[in-house]
Each structure stands twice: as C-alpha cells, then as structure tokens.
Homo-oligomer: A and B are copies of this chain.
Amino acid sequence: MNFAFTDEQAMIAETAKAFFDENATSERTRAAMDQDGVDRTLWQSFCQELGLAGIALPEAHGGSGLGLVEFAILAEAAGAQVAALPMLGSLAMTAHAIARGGSNEQKAAWLPKLATGEAIGATGLDGRVTATGDRLSGTVDFVAHGASADVFLIGSGTDAWLVARDATGLTVAACTTMDQTRPFARLTLADTPAQPLGDATAALRAAQEGGWICVAAEALGGAQATLDRTVGYAQERVQFGRQIGSFQAYKHRLADMMVEIEQARSAVYWAACAVDEGSDEAPVALHSAKSFAADTYFRCAGDMIQLHGGIGFTWEHDAHLFFKRARAIQSMLGTSAWHREQIARLIGLGDAA
C-alpha cells in the first residue's frame, strides 16, 4: 500500500507536463479550433517523438504495457493545456476497447496504427443503430473528434462494432460544437459494413473505463490549471490599490478550489489504480472520479472567469477554453447525477422511486 507515484510514474508526469506546456500553446490550440479540433503536428509529436500514446496498450501491439494510472498522468497533463488532441476517442476509448475486447486480427490491424497516430479512432457508445448481419443502419450522435477519425468504435446496447471511415453508406457530419477543442460529429450509417468486436462486453467496459478515467484526469489537470493561472493573476493584478489576491473573499475562493481539486486528484488516481489492480472498489471509484472531477473542473473554470473579472469572459482570454471543456466533460459519458445514481445502487440503496 503506497498511494504515491513511483519514480517511473513521476518521470512520465514530468515529461508529459514539459511536453504539453511547451507545445500545446494557446496559439496552436486556437488554430486547431478553427479547423477540426485536432492539432495534428502535436499529435504526431506525442505519438512518435514522445512515444507515449501506447502507454496503456499491450507491448505485443506497439504499446508499453503500463496501465490506466500512467494513462491518467498523460491525460492530466494534456487537460492542463486543453490540448486539441483525440486522446479520448482514439486512445482511451477505441484503442483501449480493441486491446481488451478485440480479436487478434482487430488488435493487429488497429492498435499499432492508433499508437503511432497513423490512424485516429473515435467512439460513440450511445448509437441508435440496428444490425442486419454485419451491416449497420442508424445514427450515432456526439462522437468526439468524429470528423477527424479513420475508424469508429460504435456501441449500441450490449453490442459493439468497428466501422472504417471509408465504409460504404457512412456519412460523418461535423457539428459546430461549444468546446471547439473536441468537436462532435454525427454519424449516419446506411447498410454500412461493420466488424463486431471479439468480446463486446469487455470492449464496452474498457471503453467506458478508459473514457471515464481520461476525462476525469483531463478535468483534474484542467482544474489545477485554472487554479494556477488564477493564483498568478491574483498576484499580478492590482485593484483598489491592492493585489487582488490580498482580498479575503478572493483568497477563500481560491482555497475552496484547492480543496476540491485535491479531492479530485485522490479520486482520479484511486479509480485508475483500482481498475489496474482489479479491485472490487473499481466501479464506485470510477463513478466517483468521473462525477467529482467533472464537477470540480466546471466549478473551478467558472471561478476562473469570475476571478478574472471583465477579461475573463472575452474570447481572447483562455478562460473560456477551460470552461467549455469542463462543461463538455460534465455532460459526456454520463452526467454527474447519473454517476451518483450508480453509486447509490452500488452501496445498497436499491432502486430509485
């Protein structure tokens, strides 16, 4: 029992932080926002030069064979910069699902490409699709970075398929999305060829777990960044003849942010660790992490706007990037209320009335 990073984990954290701080600049992120929300140069560097994209994928398929703790470290660092990258759809969900529930062919076909960034994956788990043999028809909404993807993991009920971007009958419509760093797409499938996952249950569970951990860790990183940046502003900005950080109401709000963020930190790494260790606590931990970290991020990003005053609600300032990412994380992959309802069941409260 030791709830601190190993030396290796600490090193990964340091590397990732340095990489995103240097490269995932506001300027580059905004350039990506005007396109499809993917900073492709950044993604290539991350996957190939840094070689960290496959960190939680099996070594046999181009990964490093580490776990969700290490993956969370990366997502936290990327989230701190609101980096415009397909980390969620491509790695946390699609690749993770294939690694855990794909056939050997599927693994061999996709994992090395996803790990190198040669291909981008995207996932939609709330598909309203019907299958006729190996062909799908229907729609899938809110597919994050869907317009940038080469392969889709589609879930519908307890079934899961892979669909290639160039499959016949597939239409991908990009949506103008509030969080421009991770725009949604709507997929329309008309008798589109699809490959069922080898073990759909394992794949879907892996996609959920990976997705929850990814956005919770992003939220943690983002929330910490809103605090750090606001503390910096509080020390610089002078109003009423004083540093604004000397006003007690301002200080207390920052302290409250920190109280929440430290809990979110415990939640994220508890959940990642519990999944990696196969602990019985994993389900409660995952629901805790997703709901708590998302709510913390939203609150902190809102506070960042408030505590920056007028400049905080301008397009020019970065506060809205955090704010919109936070909102998107809150509503995707199950709302906070839904996750808490799952916990209510898990701890024996029975059904809701």
Binding site for B on A (CB under 8 A): 247-249, 252
Contacts and interface: CB of A to CB of B under 8 A. Distances in A.
Contacts of A249: 248-249, 252
A248 B252 CA distance: 10
A253 to B, nearest CB: 9
A contact face: mostly helix, strand, loop, or mixed: helix
Nearest to A248: B248
Copies of this chain, tallied across the complex: 2
Contacts of A247: 248
Contacts of A252: 249
A246 to B, nearest CB: 10
Q: 4 closest A-B pairs (Cβ-Cβ)?
A: A248-B248, A248-B249, A249-B252, A249-B249
A249 B247 CA distance: 9
A44 to B, nearest CB: 48
A288 to B, nearest CB: 24
5 contacts: A247-B248, A248-B248, A248-B249, A249-B249, A249-B252
A127 B249 CA distance: 49
A335 to B, nearest CB: 15
A234 to B, nearest CB: 14
A249 B249 CA distance: 5
Contacts of A248: 247-249
